[in-house]
Amino acid sequence: MAARETTVNVLLVLLLPAVALTALFIGEAFYITLATRIAILALAAVGLNIALGLGGLVSFGHAAFFGLGGYVAGVLATHAFNMEPVALGLPGTTDMPVIWLAAILLCGLVALPIGLVSLRTSGVYFIMITLAFAQMIYYFAISWPAYGGEDGLSLSMRNGFPGLNTARPFPYFIVVFVLLLAGLFLFHRLQASRFGAALEAARQNPARLAATGISPFAIRLVAFVLSAMITGLAGALFADLNRFVSPSMLSWHMSGELIVLIILGGKSRLFGPLAGAALYVLFEYALGGLTERWQLFLGLVLLAVVFFARGGLIGLLAGRPRHG
């Protein structure tokens, strides 16, 4: 089984660059953008998977971090374009690494108080509270007029990465894909680490974990914040891909989609988010081409996954997980 999962994983990783390269050679930039979209959504879901898959924390509010990351990219670029300082005399920027860092830091700072309140609860309460906090940020973005309010914010051009022409689809895909690999590597190392073991224990038996002298609350909080940071990074990339950020990135629907990506692919599997994102974008593209009502069919597929294929796509292809 283990060998089969490795084979599936290797194929999945190779799939995106293969699609992007093929598209580059036949001159169909659209498919490169499609592959980039898959990679970004996968990265966002990798972030959520730390909380949801490893920690068993069903956060229904990760769109908050996805959208915040997006707004960081949009707001910093707008200020740089208008040559106005953002706050405290700090200038805006169109430099991607700086934007990423800012998005990661901001999401960590926002996730900390949200986690402090939400993690005092569990189960259904946790689901609803994370949802409510995300809604709070969503309504704030809608009613705060400075950055476009309900209409969202357009980026005049894609932000830059030193030494690459990110305005072209392929170099941008490479940037995103490398970050996705880094996110997957981090997830893998985390899962194998002592911290990962403690997080797993916090999910399975918090009382026992506490008895060994490790606080489940602290472990969960770190996981939640880390998870928010990665999803925030993905949000910044998403804003740059679309050169647009709007409150819809913060909406509860987005939170639901992120969970769906993980479940479609396979919960708490390393490559589940990537498999799920690929499947989701393919559905959107293939069904969306056939009918405007593709979400109806997505709903039916989701029901089928919940009732008949609980391991998701990776579960179907590679069988049951090795442990957990």
Partner 1 sequence: MSLALLIEQFLNGLQLGVMLFLIAAGLTLIFGVMGLINLAHGSLYMVGAFACAAVAAATGSFWLGLVASLAAAAAAGALMEVAIIRRLYARDHLDQVLATFALILIFSEGTRWLFGSFPLYLDIPPLLQGAVALPGGGQYPLYRLAIIGVGVLVAIGLYLLIGRTRLGMRIRAGESDREMIAALGIDIRSLYTIVFAFGAALAGLAGALVGALQSVQVGMGEPALILAFVVIVIGGIGSIKGALIGAILVGLVDTMGRFLLPKALALMMPATQAGPVGAALASMLIYIVMALILAFRPSGLFSARA
Q: Rounded CA gap, 109 and 228, in Å?
A: 10
Query: Stretches 165-173, 187-195, 196-204, 259-267: which one binds partner 1 (CB under 8 A)?
Result: 259-267
Q: Under the criterion CB under 8 A, does residue 309 sit at the interface with partner 1?
A: no
Q: Rounded CA gap, 265 and 261, in Å?
A: 6
Min dist CB 165 to partner 1, Å, is 38
The residues near 24 (Cβ < 8 Å, ≥ 6 apart) are: 32, 170
CB closer to partner 1 out of 239 and 258: 258
Q: Rounded CA gap, 320 and 154, in Å?
A: 44
Query: Stretches 3-11, 102-110, 167-175, 254-262: which one binds partner 1 (CB under 8 A)?
Result: 254-262
Helix axes 63-82, 123-143, angle to 10 degrees: 20
Min dist CB 131 to partner 1, Å, is 6
Q: Under the criterion CB under 8 A, does residue 52 sit at the interface with partner 1?
A: yes
Min dist CB 272 to partner 1, Å, is 13
CB closer to partner 1 out of 93 and 118: 118
Q: Under the criterion CB under 8 A, does residue 161 sit at the interface with partner 1?
A: no
User: Per CB under 8 A, which of residues 93..152 are in contact with partner 1?
Assistant: 117, 120-121, 123-125, 127-129, 131-133, 135-136, 139-140, 142-145
Element of type H or E holding 154: strand 153-154
Q: How many residues bind partner 1 (CB under 8 A)?
A: 42
Min dist CB 21 to partner 1, Å, is 34
Q: Rounded CA gap, 55 and 29, in Å?
A: 38
User: Per CB under 8 A, which of residues 272..301 are in contact with partner 1?
Assistant: 293, 295-296, 298-300
Residue with tokens 């860092």: 101
Q: Rounded CA gap, 275 and 63, in Å?
A: 20
Min dist CB 36 to partner 1, Å, is 25
| 302: helix, strand or coil | helix
What distance, in Å, lies between the first and last C-alpha atoms of the chain?
14
Return the amino acid letter for 16: L
**Cβ atoms < 10 Å from Cβ of 288:** 15
Q: Which residues bind partner 1 (CB under 8 A)?
A: 52, 58, 60, 117, 120-121, 123-125, 127-129, 131-133, 135-136, 139-140, 142-145, 252-253, 256, 259-260, 263, 267, 293, 295-296, 298-300, 302-303, 305-307, 310
